[in-house]
């Protein structure tokens, strides 16, 4: 009887060994019950229609019908949240980003190729992502990029009145008091067109789609550099940067140690490195830090970037927190607001694939604007000269 509350998982992989290994990860899991397996994309589509799972894990590379082709059919015929399992090859990374664009919730990189004997290394990550994906709204996954969503005027009305009560588990009472004082002093009347600006963006689950929605709408003439932290393993951030660069008016690149910040250019933190900046004469340079440990399990972490940039009073900051699990960014946001002029923008619950990081940011009481992902680029531009 206890099974009724569990989310149902279908595992899709052409390797019997991998199907067994992934099934074993969920033995005794209180939230997830494995209800079946499938050996390729065609089999997966049939099983989804027959077994009606709440969530699916699917290998990207399979014979007969690969994960990417299967995903497109699934999202059209029988939509369900899907976590892709991907190899870390350049091709694997490109296919994975394609899958995210086509509606996959998230992905997990296999530690060593198609059949990973050491898959246990990613057990915790996979289980965690599956548990969360089971509750993601399929309507949001199917929503084509660029589609207009319902207005979030209501949310902004609330924020203007500052009626959101802080959650105990997110920000301490002390931080909440600081937040109220800080926010009162950092309104738009201190926002000067003469000072340098920098845009800081943090995102996680659902981020590649959200970034495409935002970065492709920024004009080439944008008068600020853009620093981006997207939670992703090494290898995938390079593919993401290349993809966004092809689609955007601005230049987008994976950040390299020593890069000089240039207006109209976006720098994506590489997987495995925290993204920081330092001043050298009159220029600002990027530092990639692999020595500082991961923060809340992430390297790069949004908090680390926010905290580092908060030290530079030469910039007014526009901090943007978009879709993602957890609360990365909210601690750094408090520092940004305490130490200088910062406008904070959070993606609304209406468009987030996972409303975790923006929710934690909103609970600090320091967010100036809550907007749908479609309107974030326009909102950023509003605060730039």
In this predicted model, what pLDDT tens digit does every residue of 168-194 receive, in sequence order? 343 333 444 444 444 544 454 477 777
Residue 133 sits in the same domain as residue 170: no
Residue 235 sits in the same domain as residue 372: yes
What's the pLDDT tens digit per position in 322-381?
A: 999 999 999 999 999 999 999 999 999 999 999 999 999 999 999 999 999 999 999 999
* 274 assigned to active site: no
Residue in 6, 136, 151 with CA at minimum distance from that of residue 75: 136
Query: Residue 360 falls within a domain, yes or no?
Result: yes
Residue 355 sits in the same domain as residue 310: yes
What's the pLDDT tens digit per position in 100-116?
A: 999 999 999 987 666 65
* 15 assigned to active site: no
Domain around 252: 153-382
Give residue 158's pLDDT band: very low, low, confident or very high (50, 70, 90). very low
For 171, which DSSP code?
S
Give residue 121's pLDDT band: very low, low, confident or very high (50, 70, 90). confident
Give residue 195's pLDDT band: very low, low, confident or very high (50, 70, 90). confident
Residue 54 sits in the same domain as residue 160: no
Q: How confident is the prediction for the chain on average, in pLDDT? A: 88
Could you tell me the CATH number of the domain that includes residue 180?
3.40.50.180
Query: Residue 198 falls within a domain, yes or no?
Result: yes
What's the structural domain count of the chain?
2
* 328 assigned to active site: yes
Query: Residue 292 falls within a domain, yes or no?
Result: yes
Q: What are phi and psi of 325, to 5 degrees?
A: -80, 150
The dihedral through the CA atoms of 256, 259, 336, 202 has a sign that is negative
Q: Is pLDDT above 70 for 224? A: yes
H or E element in which residue 276 lies = strand 274-280
What CA–CA distances, in Å, run from 23 to 28, 120, 124, 174, 247? 11, 12, 13, 44, 38
Q: Choose the catalytic residue: 13, 43, 231, 375.
A: 231
At which of 142, 161, 194 does a domain end?
142
What CA–CA distances, in Å, run from 74 to 47, 50, 77, 83? 11, 13, 5, 13
Q: Tell me how far apart the alpha carbons of residues 101 and 69 are, in angstroms, rounded to a whole number.
A: 13
Residue 270 sits in the same domain as residue 307: yes
Q: Choose the catalytic residue: 54, 328, 350, 372.
A: 328
pTM above 0.85, yes or no: yes
Query: Residue 174 falls within a domain, yes or no?
Result: yes
Residue 124 sits in the same domain as residue 75: yes
Query: Residue 147 falls within a domain, yes or no?
Result: no
Q: Choose the catalytic residue: 7, 87, 116, 204.
A: 204
């Amino acid at each position: 009887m206890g099974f009724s509350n569990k989310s149902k998982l279908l595992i899709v992989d052409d390797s019997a060994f991998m199907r067994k290994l992934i099934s074993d990860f969920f033995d005794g899991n209180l939230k997830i019950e494995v209800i079946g397996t499938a050996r390729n994309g065609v089999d997966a589509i049939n099983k989804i229609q027959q077994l009606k799972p709440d969530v699916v894990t699917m290998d990207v590379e399979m014979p007969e019908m690969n994960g990417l082709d299967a995903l497109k059919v699934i999202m059209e015929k029988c939509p369900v949240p899907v976590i892709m399992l991907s190899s870390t090859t350049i091709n694997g990374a490109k296919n994975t980003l394609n899958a995210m664009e086509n509606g996959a919730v998230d992905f997990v990189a296999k530690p060593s190729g198609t059949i990973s004997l050491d898959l246990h290394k990613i057990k915790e990550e996979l289980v965690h992502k599956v548990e969360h994906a089971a509750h993601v709204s399929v309507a949001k996954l199917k929503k084509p990029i660029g589609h207009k969503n319902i207005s979030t005027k209501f949310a902004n009305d609330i924020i203007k009145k500052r009626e959101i009560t802080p959650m105990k588990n997110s920000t301490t009472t002390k931080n909440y008091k600081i937040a109220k004082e800080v926010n009162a002093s950092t309104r738009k009347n201190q926002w000067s067109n003469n000072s340098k600006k920098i845009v800081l963006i943090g995102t996680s689950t659902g981020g590649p789609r959200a970034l495409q929605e935002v970065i492709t709408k920024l004009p080439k003439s944008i008068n600020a550099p853009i620093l981006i932290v997207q939670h992703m393993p090494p290898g995938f951030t390079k593919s993401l940067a290349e993809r966004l660069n092809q689609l955007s008016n601005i230049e987008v690149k994976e950040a390299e140690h020593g890069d000089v910040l240039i207006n109209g250019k976006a720098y994506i933190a590489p997987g495995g490195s925290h993204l920081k900046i330092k001043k050298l004469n009159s220029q600002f340079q990027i530092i990639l830090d692999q020595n500082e440990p991961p923060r809340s399990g992430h390297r790069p972490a949004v908090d680390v970037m926010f905290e580092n940039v908060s030290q530079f009073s030469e910039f007014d900051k526009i901090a943007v927190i978009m879709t993602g699990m957890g609360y990365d960014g909210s601690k750094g946001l408090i520092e940004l607001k305490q130490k200088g002029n910062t406008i904070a923008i959070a993606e609304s619950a209406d468009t987030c694939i996972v409303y975790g990081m923006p929710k934690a940011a909103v609970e600090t009481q320091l967010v100036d604007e809550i907007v749908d992902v479609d309107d974030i680029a326009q909102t950023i531009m509003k605060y730039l000269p």
